[in-house]
């Protein structure tokens, strides 16, 4: 099945330089409204101008999520209807399968840490691919003994790298490649830094159940082995 390419729409700004009317031998315009003199960049710097709104059309919506590093709420245009397989234009990662969410007692272990841009679940059975270090790599997430297991496999050589975080196998893959010393981000390469992926995860079956906090069991005080000291 062929993957569909998705990317966010970017507002285009006209950067054509303005020619002075005085240099053209024309009379200056009578402008009384100073607001009309501000270009797009000036408006962003002016404290009295309200925050720029996200412009969407009938085919796009807005995904909202808090960035973990800054705490700021991000508003990012995304397609209203997306499905796999698809290729993320932001990073070139192709998502083939989303997998399933862990909703059992160990569900808390299948969520991202603070090192990721957004907080999100790690679906079991997730499969994606990406071109990196002049090779095509396949990425998967499986259920391990103590939590998710991340696997990165080089399609040409068949070399497999595994780890308990998305970055761990990618770091090993980088060390074995010709691009040693390159900084890698597992969450980014897996596609978890893209708002389109976040939208797909939030629309998965069982997302609300997977998001519920695990109940805290109260431990009964054990006094059977208490010893009295004098």
Mean pLDDT (whole number) for 190-218: 86
pLDDT band for position 1 (50/70/90)? low
Mean pLDDT of all residues in the chain? 77
Confidence check: pLDDT of 196 > 80: yes
What CA–CA distances, in Å, run from 172 to 19, 142, 166?
A: 55, 18, 11
Q: Which residue has the higher pLDDT, 159 or 211?
A: 159
- The yes-or-no verdict on residue 170 having pLDDT over 70 is yes
Tens digits of residue pLDDT in 70-92: 888 988 889 888 888 999 999 99
Q: Is the pTM of this model over 0.85?
A: no
- What mean pLDDT is predicted for residues 152-159? 96
Residue 161's Cβ-count burial label (10 Å; 0-12, 13-18, 19+) is: buried
- Reported as a pLDDT band with limits 50, 70 and 90, residue 216 is low
Q: Where are the domains of the chain?
A: 52-211
* Of the ranges 83-92, 161-170, 179-188, the best mean pLDDT one: 161-170
Write out the DSSP string of the chain: -PPEEE---------PPPPPTTTTT-PPP----GGGG--HHHHHH-TTSPPPPPP--TTEEEEEEE-TTT-PEEEEEEESS--SSEEETTT-PEEEE--B---STTGGGGB--TTSSS--B--BT-EEEEEETTEEEEEEEEE-SSSEEEEEEETTT--EEEESSSHHHHHHHHHTSS-TT----HHHHHTTTSHHHHHHHHTSTTHHHHHSPPPPPPPPP--TT-----
Q: How far apart are CA 146 and CA 123, in angstroms?
A: 15
- Contacts (Cβ under 8 Å, ≥6 apart) of 56: 62, 77
Select the more confidently predicted residue: 213 or 175: 175
Question: Range with the lowest mean pLDDT among 60-64, 126-130, 131-135?
Answer: 60-64
Architecture of domain 52-211: 2-Layer Sandwich (3.30)
């Amino acid at each position: 099945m062929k993957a569909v390419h998705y990317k966010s729409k970017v507002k285009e700004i006209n950067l054509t330089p303005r020619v002075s009317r005085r240099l053209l031998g024309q009379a200056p315009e009578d402008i009384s409204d100073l607001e009309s003199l501000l270009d797009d960049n000036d408006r962003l710097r002016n404290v009295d101008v309200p925050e720029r709104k996200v412009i969407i059309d009938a085919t796009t919506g807005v995904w909202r999520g808090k960035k973990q590093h800054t705490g700021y709420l991000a508003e990012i245009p995304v397609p209203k209807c997306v499905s796999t397989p698809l290729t993320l234009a932001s990073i070139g990662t192709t998502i083939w399968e989303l997998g399933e969410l862990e909703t059992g007692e160990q569900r808390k272990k299948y969520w991202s840490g603070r090192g990721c841009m957004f907080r999100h679940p790690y679906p079991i059975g997730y499969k994606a691919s990406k071109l990196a270090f002049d090779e095509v790599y396949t990425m998967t997430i499986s259920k391990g003994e103590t939590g998710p297991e991340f696997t990165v496999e080089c399609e040409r050589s068949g070399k497999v790298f595994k780890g308990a975080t998305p970055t761990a196998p990618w770091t090993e893959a980088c060390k074995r490649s010709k691009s040693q010393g390159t900084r890698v981000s597992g969450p980014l390469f897996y596609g978890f830094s893209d708002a389109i992926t976040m939208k797909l995860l939030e629309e998965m079956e069982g997302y609300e159940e997977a998001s519920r906090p695990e109940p805290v069991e109260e431990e009964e005080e054990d006094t059977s082995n208490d010893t009295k000291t004098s």
